[in-house]
């Protein structure tokens, strides 16, 4: 099989392995809140990708775009309390005055650089927990276990649902009047990195991708370390190791970031994966489209190079 044929084959396989969901059609959006903030406007919109399953997202619109359309980024959070965690809010919607946690309020970092950002609530976290998993403080870990196991019995995966919703969010993003639909990007952390790489592998509209706290090999991370069940996709290891799946994004712009002391995505897996992905980019004459940063830190976002890289790549 030629490399180009294998790539098509793997993309089709990936789409099949994560399971399909019937989309509700047009991604209807209702704006439910609009707040003027320092340097940007924050909207809360309600979207629906699957019939009967609506969800909210924050849209951060930088000041000063009026002259032209601007590039836009889909920001995908990992395990935690949802979209509020990356836009500088507490779970109850009040402003988070404390130092940011491992998500580093990264959506704010991107809007400050002139990018329009959409941060959807990922199903299974925060206000999208199943009723039985809710706790009074809203800090229950996730509904990944219940959702994943039930979907697996139907031949589907929670990742498949999350990716499908992400693609519908891209439809909505591309339809917004401020957005240049030819310049869409994605940045995801940890479990959000999983959703981001698969969304980008399957959706060519994404021109620039940042994966942080995720890149590894299955051998060094998902197999070697206990991970949430939402990381497990049936049969995926029969076809390719993780670097080759991530390499489906080539030749589009890709930045890989990881903490040197990340205990769940260990350094050796990151370095091996970057090396393997680099070979894929070189084979497609696109080595200059791949960048990486192993920063001093743990399982967290750094952004020391990746925020500027994303802004410079897209603007
Ligand atoms: Zn999970």
Q: How far is the CA of 102 from the centre of ligand 1 (A)?
A: 16
Q: How far is the CA of 120 from the centre of ligand 1 (A)?
A: 16
Predicted confidence at residue 133, as pLDDT, reads: 84
Please check the confidence at residue 94 and state whether its pLDDT lies above 90.
Answer: yes
User: Other CB atoms closer than 10 Å to residue 11's CB: what's the count?
Assistant: 15
Predicted confidence at residue 141, as pLDDT, reads: 81
Spatial CA neighbour of 268 closest among 248, 294, 249, 242: 294
Q: What is the dihedral of CA 286, 191, 47, 168, to 10 degrees?
A: 30
196 — pLDDT class (breaks 50, 70, 90): very high
Predicted confidence at residue 138, as pLDDT, reads: 59
Determine the Cα–Cα distance for residues 80 and 217; give it in Å rounded to an integer. 23
Spatial CA neighbour of 14 closest among 237, 219, 288, 262: 237
Q: How far is the CA of 162 from the centre of ligand 1 (A)?
A: 11
Q: How far is the CA of 143 from the centre of ligand 1 (A)?
A: 7
- Please tell me whether the peptide bond between 251 and the residue prior to it is cis, using omega within 30 degrees of 0: yes
3-class DSSP state for residue 107?
A: helix
Spatial CA neighbour of 68 closest among 167, 183, 168, 170: 183
What's the chain's average pLDDT? 95
Determine the Cα–Cα distance for residues 22 and 2; give it in Å rounded to an integer. 32
Residues 38-45 have a mean pLDDT of: 97
Determine the Cα–Cα distance for residues 179 and 288; give it in Å rounded to an integer. 26
Residues 88-116 have a mean pLDDT of: 96
DSSP 254: E
Q: How far is the CA of 126 from the centre of ligand 1 (A)?
A: 12
Q: How far is the CA of 144 from the centre of ligand 1 (A)?
A: 5
Q: How far is the CA of 141 from the centre of ligand 1 (A)?
A: 9
Please check the confidence at residue 46 and state whether its pLDDT lies above 90.
Answer: yes
| Number of domains observed in the structure of the chain | 1
Token code pair at residue 160: 């498949």
Predicted confidence at residue 135, as pLDDT, reads: 74
Which tens digits make up the pLDDT trace of 222-272?
999 999 999 999 999 999 999 999 999 999 999 999 999 999 999 999 999
Q: How far is the CA of 212 from the centre of ligand 1 (A)?
A: 16
Q: How far is the CA of 222 from the centre of ligand 1 (A)?
A: 12
- Cross-strand pairs, 274: none
The CATH number covering residue 224 comes to 3.40.50.1820
3-class DSSP state for residue 111?
A: helix
53 — pLDDT class (breaks 50, 70, 90): confident
Q: How far is the CA of 57 from the centre of ligand 1 (A)?
A: 19
132 — pLDDT class (breaks 50, 70, 90): confident
The position carrying tokens 């891209």 is: 170
Predicted confidence at residue 134, as pLDDT, reads: 80
Predicted confidence at residue 81, as pLDDT, reads: 92
Residues 7-19 have a mean pLDDT of: 98
Which tens digits make up the pLDDT trace of 148-191?
999 999 999 999 999 999 999 999 999 999 999 999 999 999 99
- Alpha helix locations (H) across 62-130? 106-111
68 — pLDDT class (breaks 50, 70, 90): confident
Determine the Cα–Cα distance for residues 23 and 45; give it in Å rounded to an integer. 18
Phi and psi at 84, nearest 5°, equal -60, -30
In percent, how much of the chain has pLDDT > 90?
A: 87
Determine the Cα–Cα distance for residues 78 and 212; give it in Å rounded to an integer. 10
Residues 273-278 have a mean pLDDT of: 98
Q: How far is the CA of 230 from the centre of ligand 1 (A)?
A: 4
Return residues with CB closer than 5 A to ligand 1 (ion). 142, 144, 228, 230
Domain that holds residue 114: 3-314
Determine the Cα–Cα distance for residues 271 and 313; give it in Å rounded to an integer. 23
Please check the confidence at residue 82 and state whether its pLDDT lies above 70.
Answer: yes
Predicted confidence at residue 51, as pLDDT, reads: 78
HEC secondary structure over 7-67: HHHHHHHHHHHCCCCCCCCCCEEEEEEEEEECCEEEEEEEEEEECCEEEEEEEEEECCCCC
């Amino acid at each position: 099989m030629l490399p180009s044929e294998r790539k098509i084959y793997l993309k089709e396989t990936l789409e099949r392995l994560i399971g399909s969901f019937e989309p509700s059609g047009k991604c209807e959006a209702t704006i439910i809140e609009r707040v003027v903030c320092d340097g940007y406007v924050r909207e809360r919109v309600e979207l629906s990708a699957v019939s009967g399953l609506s969800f909210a997202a924050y849209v951060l619109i930088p000041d000063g775009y009026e002259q032209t359309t601007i590039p836009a980024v889909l920001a995908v959070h990992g395990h935690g309390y949802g979209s509020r965690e990356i836009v500088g809010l507490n779970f109850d919607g009040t402003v988070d005055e404390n130092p940011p946690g491992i998500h580093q309020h990264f959506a704010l970092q991107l809007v400050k650089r002139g990018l329009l950002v959409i941060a959807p609530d990922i199903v299974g976290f925060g206000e999208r927990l199943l009723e039985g998993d809710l706790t009074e403080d809203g800090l229950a870990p996730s509904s990944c276990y219940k959702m994943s196991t039930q979907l697996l019995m139907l031949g589907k995966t929670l990742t498949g649902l999350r990716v499908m919703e992400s693609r519908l969010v891209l439809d909505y993003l591309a339809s917004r009047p401020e957005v240049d639909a030819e310049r869409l990007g994605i940045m995801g952390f940890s479990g959000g990195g999983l959703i981001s790489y698969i969304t980008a592998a399957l959706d060519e509209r994404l021109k620039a991708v940042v994966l942080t706290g995720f890149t590894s090999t299955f051998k060094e991370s998902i197999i070697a370390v206990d991970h949430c069940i939402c990381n497990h996709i049936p049969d995926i290891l029969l076809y390719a190791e993780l670097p080759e799946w991530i390499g489906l994004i080539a030749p589009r712009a890709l930045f890989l970031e990881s903490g040197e002391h990340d205990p769940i995505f260990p350094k050796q897996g990151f370095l091996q994966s970057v090396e393997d992905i680099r070979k894929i980019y070189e084979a497609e004459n696109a080595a200059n489209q791949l960048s990486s940063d192993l920063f001093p830190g743990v399982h967290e976002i750094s952004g020391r190079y990746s925020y500027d890289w994303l802004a410079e790549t897209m603007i």
